[in-house]
Amino acid sequence: MASTLTLPAPVQRFFALFPLHTYPPVPVPVRFPLVKPTLWIAPPRNLAHLDPTSSSDLLSADAECLKWQAYIALRGLSDIAIRWDVSPEGGLDGRLPNLHVPASGDSQTQLLPSHGIPAWVDGRVPGPVDALEGYKDEQARDESHAWVSLLEGTVHAALSLSQPPPSFLSTLFQSDSKRARSIEAILSPPPAPLTGFSSLFPSFGTNVTLSAVQTRYAEAIASLSERLGTDRWFLASENPTALDALIFAYLHCILHSRDTTRIEVTRRVNLVAWERRIRAQVQATFCVALQSS
């Protein structure tokens, strides 16, 4: 039943001074039209001299992003776009990389975090999912876990120490998501405290020396070179695995660092040749995301 209540005439005249106008929605400009799967990464190293027409400059300077670039490429996918204008705060969980997948068939547009990339790749690669994750046997798969721990611990710590320290001003205004993990949190096992158990003072600080990290790093690179030997893939796998993607990411970042850390890798001819071969395959997989005119 319609209401018989009406506003008083003075109130109606007052409201008439503020008419309600309805406008059509404003179209949101799309800078990067999503026409193909697009990986959001940290910027490449030579961003100032980047040639958009060449794929040789499209490898991220961040080891974590580069690992996923290599993983996608080594699984056999191609024609994947990349963009690096999104800061880590704009990604899922405040981290990069993210994979932006266009709608296809009944599926809608998706934005995947890094841990969702393997499942998406499995859906794009023909054939059943390998229970051994590409390794030749269970022993090789278990051994890969030890190599991952070594790379993400000792090798990552040495790579972090080879980077120039940020200025005090940039650190002051840097968000928590962009701050690198401390060396104490990276090393495995963690370093001992500065004070011993017999000290009168409670345990505090950590006893981390540059020489100790460099010694462990040199041993790790020597072990990598010896384990690879003349094989095509690490752990004598018939096809590339996630471990190969991780090793490539660290070798590439180390070889392009300006620190003496790279010398340990350049002394191993098999590691240098292996990195160069994988680099060509990874570079050929990606292209720059098209921008709207």
Query: Cα-flanking dihedrals φ and ψ of residue 90, to 5°?
Result: -85, -5
Residues in Cβ contact with 242 at an 8 Å cutoff, skipping those fewer than 6 apart: 71, 118, 133, 134, 144
What mean pLDDT do residues 3-25 have?
A: 85
- Spatial distance between the Cα atoms of 70 and 283, rounded to a whole number of angstroms: 9
Joined together, the tokens standing for residue 263 give 């010398």
Closest CA to 117 of 37, 210, 61, 49: 37
- pLDDT at position 245: 97
Model confidence at 67: pLDDT above 70: yes
Model confidence at 171: pLDDT above 90: no
Please report, rounded to a whole number, the percentage of residues in the chain having pLDDT higher than 70.
79
Q: Which segment of 145-159, 182-196, 235-249, 255-269 scores lowest on mean pLDDT?
A: 182-196
Q: Which segment of 51-60, 223-232, 241-250 scores lowest on mean pLDDT?
A: 51-60
Model confidence at 82: pLDDT above 90: yes
Model confidence at 202: pLDDT above 90: no
- pLDDT at position 267: 95
- Spatial distance between the Cα atoms of 255 and 223, rounded to a whole number of angstroms: 17
Model confidence at 183: pLDDT above 60: no
Joined together, the tokens standing for residue 50 give 């980047």
Domains of the chain: 32-163+207-288 (1.20.1050.130)
Query: Which residue would you say has higher pLDDT here, 211 or 144?
Result: 144
What mean pLDDT do residues 132-153 have?
A: 94
- pLDDT at position 277: 96
- pLDDT at position 53: 57
80-83 and 286-288 as β-strands: parallel, antiparallel, unpaired? parallel
What mean pLDDT do residues 38-44 have?
A: 95
- pLDDT at position 184: 55
pLDDT band at 212 (very low <50, low <70, confident <90, very high): confident
**pLDDT tens digits for 103-123?**
877 778 899 999 999 999 999
Through-space distance between the first and last CA atoms of the chain, rounded to whole angstroms: 55
pLDDT band at 165 (very low <50, low <70, confident <90, very high): low
Residues in Cβ contact with 222 at an 8 Å cutoff, skipping those fewer than 6 apart: 264, 268
